[in-house]
Amino acid sequence: MKIHNVVRKNNYYDSVTLMLISKQLKQVEGLDDVSVMMGTPANRVILQEADLLGPEGENAGPNDLILAFRAPANIDVQWVLNKIDEQMGKKAAAGDSAEQLIVRSAAKVYQEDPDTNLAFISVPGEYAASEAERALKYGKNVFLFSDNVAVEEEAYLKTLAAAKGLLVMGPDCGTAIINGKGIGFANKVKTGDIGLISAAGTGLQEVICLLDALELGISQAIGTGGRDLKDAIGAATMLQALELLSNDSNTRLIVLISKPPAQPVVEKILTRLAGISKPVVLCFLGSVIKPAAANITVAATLEEAAVKAALLSGKQPALPTPAAILKNWAETATAKLASGQRYVRALYAGGTLCYEAMLVLGETLGPIYSNIPLAPQLLTQTVMVPGQHTAIDLGDDRFTMGKPHPMIDGSLRDAYIMQVAGDQQTAVILLDVVIGYGAGEDPAGELVPVIESARQAAAGGGNTLVAVAYVCGTSQDEQNKAVQTAKLQQAGVLVARTNAEAARLAGMIAGAERNG
């Protein structure tokens, strides 16, 4: 196999488009270890470390596109490029056919369309802060999808935004729904009177989708970026968004979501919440919160946040699945396992969903090893630790550098599913399937044959492999949650109603007492 680098000069693509191009490349027969990146110095280092950088790529500039892959030396590279262009052309043809204005700079857009009030920025991290600053100076709110932005730059941008009465969502902000429009990875959900503010992308998706299932709608869903509740940022965006929603006549109830914030930041938020008259559901995963204000309701999981929001809205929620049914599912599955099958191997596309799963699994199974661990001593960068349960966030930068996010392309996870299925200790594979805007066209359909192959691999070693999954999305999404769920169920996958429920079920199966 030979390393091939094809450089397209002055051919800039944002990170989401790069993920889609990578997926198209992987579908070309004969290609291996594919990576698509802009030719920034940092990206060239990544390609070099992956042994994918050729002479052509070494000379690429930051505005040049590098298509890097391994393939037989005699492959017709032009044929490969034609196939890529053909696939990308189909993608473009399937999109909006309305006339589009072609512009060469963001500044020109801001000047020619002054009524636009939001800039979506998805450029390499080293350029993201300057682009965001430019947008703010033109009076635009910013959705900053880019990551690898310095924390000092984030603090500066949010200070600048606040002074101008503007909002910076991000950096590394994956999801928002503003005035009914989904931004980034988002879902089609009902409109209503619940406003959400979240420092966790898939955490926000989970709660809005569960609210939708409970026949409740949202007014706004505002992402803050994952670092917003760190000491260095001080919840700048969350506090700004709180002010907006507290004064919004269309918002009756507010839900706040985050992984564990810094404690001084928690106190700052609680102080602000005490001055808000609207009811608030507070879900800071893994944190112990003792609010003094009567308007604050604390939820330990994303599932509980949705249920408590429903109760505060006068609804009797139909979530989760009754305990007796879960127990029956678990006992049936456990009876098929060999005595050596003891461990859960969770392979997640969504980082916050992975984090919530660890909290739930830990209640019954004890320590869970992970690349985003609940405690430093539980850190691992491998998908399996012998004699231990593991939960891996495959959307982490280590896995996605130069490759499509697993919410877009599941092939990265496929290989790890086969790896854990071949381990004699694996009892349960726990998976999330995230659908909606930006996600894969048919993730369940792509996952089913992999699960079937994994079961065959386990059977070859005398084991029965149990697959438990959760579909995060709605039936209004293009992929359709009901359709995705049915495909998994027809393949024998146990599909839960919530992510927390999927983790509980996996824990019940792996934690059951067995003879032998």
Question: Each residue of 101-142: pLDDT tens digit?
Answer: 445 567 767 776 778 899 999 887 888 999 999 999 999 999
Is 183's pLDDT higher than 60? yes
Closest CA relative to residue 195, chosen from 223, 172, 174, 228: 223
Q: Please, which residues have CB within 8 angstroms of residue 104's CB and are 6 or more apart in sequence?
A: none
Average pLDDT over residues 411-434: 94
Asked if the model's pLDDT at residue 433 lies above 90, the reply is yes
Q: d(Cα 338, Cα 249) in Å, to the nearest integer? A: 58
Does residue 399 form part of some domain?
yes
Residue 338 domain flag: yes
Looking at residue 99, its pLDDT comes to: 46
* Domain interval for residue 395: 323-511
Decide if pLDDT at 71 tops 60. yes
Q: Is the peptide bond before 260 cis (omega within 30 degrees of 0)?
A: no
Average pLDDT, the chain: 90
* Confidence check: pLDDT of 179 > 90: yes
Same domain for 351 and 428? yes
Contact 492, 447 (CB under 8 A): no
504 and 384 in a common domain: yes
- Residue 80 sits in the same domain as residue 162: no
| Domain closes at, from 278, 312, 346 | 312
Mean pLDDT of the region 356-365: 97
The verdict on residue 217 lying in a domain is yes
Q: Same structural domain for residues 301 and 438?
A: no
Residue 302 lies in a domain: yes
Q: Write the CATH number for 361.
A: 3.40.50.261
SS3 of 224, please? coil
Per-residue model confidence (pLDDT) at position 233: 97
- Average the pLDDT over each of 88-97, 212-221, 414-423, 466-475 and give the range with the smallest value: 88-97
pLDDT at 96: 47
197 and 300 fall within a common domain: yes
Condensed to tens digits (0 to 9), the pLDDT of residues 435-479 reads 999 898 999 999 999 999 999 999 999 999 999 999 999 999 999
Same domain, 281 and 389: no
Residue 213 has pLDDT above 70, yes or no: yes
Q: Are residues 24 and 84 in the same domain?
A: yes
Chain segment 231-247, per-residue pLDDT in tens:
999 999 999 999 999 99
40 found inside a domain: yes
Q: Can you name the residues that pair with 282 across neighbouring β-strands?
A: 256, 298
Please check whether residue 360 lies inside any domain of the structure: yes
Q: What total number of domains does the chain contain? A: 3
Q: Do 392 and 332 belong together in one domain?
A: yes
Instruction: Flag whether 318 is in a domain.
Output: no
Q: Which of 93, 121, 144 is the last residue of a domain?
A: 93
SS3 category, 214: coil
196 with 256, same domain: the answer is yes
Domain match, 222 and 160 both = yes
What is the C-alpha separation between 336 and 43, in angstroms, rounded?
47
Residue 98 has pLDDT above 90, yes or no: no
Q: What b/e string do you get for 443-472 counting C-beta neighbours within 10 Å, with b at 16 or more?
A: bbbbbbebbeebbebbeeeebebbbbbbbb
The H-assigned helical ranges of 150-259 are 151-164, 201-213, 236-246
Q: How confident is the model at residue 97 (pLDDT cuts 50, 70, 90)?
A: very low
Based on the domain organization, do 293 and 345 belong to the same domain?
no
At residue 469, φ and ψ (nearest 5 deg) are -140, 165
Q: Flag whether pLDDT at 157 surpasses 50.
A: yes
pLDDT at site 89: 60
- The upper half-sphere exposure of residue 191, i.e. CA atoms within 13 Å in the direction of its Cβ, equals 6
Determine what percent of the chain is predicted with pLDDT higher than 90.
69
Asked if residue 101 belongs to a domain, the reply is no
CATH number at residue 74: 3.30.70.100
- Domain stop point among 269, 287, 312: 312
- Residue 15 has a CB neighbour count (10 Å cut-off) of 18
Q: How far is CA 220 from CA 191, 204, 242, 410, 493, in A?
A: 9, 11, 11, 30, 34
- Cβ contact 177:197 at 8 Å: no
Whole-model pTM: value is 0.86
- The residue written with tokens 């034609």 in the block is 82
pLDDT bin (cut points 50, 70, 90) of residue 16 is: low
> Measured between alpha carbons, how far is 53 from 353 in angstroms, rounded to an integer?
34
Regarding whether 366 and 262 lie in a shared domain, the answer is no
Torsion of Cα atoms, 499 then 502 then 508 then 509, to 10°: -150
How do 368-370 and 389-393 pair as beta strands? parallel
